[in-house]
Structure 1
């Protein structure tokens, strides 16, 4: 479909080009990693310049819809939520000098999602998945004993926790929220909570799942978030709240 004679200019033309490229991906049923037509082919197909196509691809790349590989061309992206996480992190940093409203609101969304999801896990989690959670808690504990923090293990724990639900979009959303918190953790004021206390919070969640008690798992998660919310009561406690998210 040519959009050269639509009369669109500037930003509106760019938006139209981006929408056409996205529509092409959908209509052609292209999977992540599939190669897209060249800039020349897209320009000819849409009736616009190569420069306009190049700019559109750059925008779509920031959204993980398109991946451009130097010397190879453009490919369908991973459709991750990295852009969402980056936007949330910036919003938190923008607001933190005045108040922690955005941080509290994002935490509230996480609490609603995670408390609702964790209660369903008791009936679905397997012995193998529980063993993986135990392994991650043990890795956290080993670092905590040395006074170290463990962001990699923490993130892996939250990913592994919800794998039994097989809801890939939900996992991506929770990962984006987690990444937003931890990307600004070190820049916020306040004292970091003891890593040993953080380990205990995660261990309690695993213990309730191992007991097959969904309601107790939800209570453990709720208590975890209640503790975080309490530490967010004043601006000086912001950093410690992020340490055990």
Structure 2
């Protein structure tokens, strides 16, 4: 019953933030006001606020009050990493699931930006930096982020960054690409497909990129 009440308060506080149009950094009403508004005990309100803090929805500044947070996707990173690695110990199922979700997301984003000349120039620069082992990883990450930015989808950008970080922390389970040339070729194929404005070519290019990782998982 206590858990249910706490969840009700979590939902109610989120609704309050939305109803009042509060933005990240705006102060929430103090605890006594929340207790009065929701007819709730202090401990229940504090428990709900701690839950919201863990989700990044609020920020508790001791001595100053509680403020609306930015609800960054990074708060999901420990949970997603745990699910990926815990399920990967025997059959790497968790890592395969993560790759499948990434592929679905990135295929649709790449299809959305076909023919974008400015993006193509940016991606070409990323590929050039992939040739240098010292900058390859950062350039690889930026390549995928630039597609999200060009697609104009901020949520997709946050998810891509989250998936990227979790994958990199799990990559030790399958090893790194065998050589920089392979990394460059896979990404160049995506650029060529975007340039051609061929939706099916985009799908195949993104699929080939993730197939290389899946082959490493199978070999591992």
Give the alignment's TM-score, normalised by structure 1. Answer: 0.77
1:134 paired to 2:119: no
Q: Which digits, 9 at most, give the CA deviation of each residue in 1:132-156, with x for residues without a partner?
A: 32333333323x1xxx474443322
- Pick closer, same or farther for the CA change 1:10–1:194 going to 2, 3 Å: same
Which residue does the alignment assign to 2:207? Answer: 222
Q: Could you tell which deviates more after superposition, 166-175 or 91-100?
A: 166-175
Residue equivalent to 2:156 = 170
Distance 1:27 1:85, change over 3 A: same
Residue 23 of structure 2 is matched in structure 1 by 31
- Of 115, 118, 122, the residue aligned with 2:110 is 118
Over the aligned positions, Cα root-mean-square deviation in angstroms equals 2.4
Contact 1:34–1:76 at 8 Å: present in 2 too? yes
Q: 1:149–1:195: 8 Å Cα contact kept in structure 2?
A: no
- Asked if the contact 1:63/1:82 (under 8 Å) is kept, the reply is no
Q: Name stretches of at least 5 consecutive residues in structure 1 with no aligned partner.
A: 1-8, 237-245
Q: Give the distance between the partners of 1:133 and 1:78, measured in 2 at CA.
A: 29
Uncovered stretches (5+) of structure 2, i.e. residues with no partner = none
User: In structure 1, the residue corresponding to 2:22 is in which secondary structure?
Assistant: coil
Whether 2:89 is the aligned partner of 1:103: answer: no
TM-score normalized by the length of structure 2: 0.85
Query: Structure 1, residues 20-70: CA drift from partner, whole Å, max 9, x if none?
Result: 111101111222222211223222322333333222111111112112234
Rounded Cα–Cα distance in structure 2 between residues aligned with 1:149 and 1:51: 50
Contact 1:137 1:202 in 2 (8 A): yes
The verdict on how the C-alpha distance between 1:195 and 1:41 changes in structure 2, with shifts beyond 3 A counting, is: farther
**What is residue 92 of structure 1 aligned with on the other side?**
84
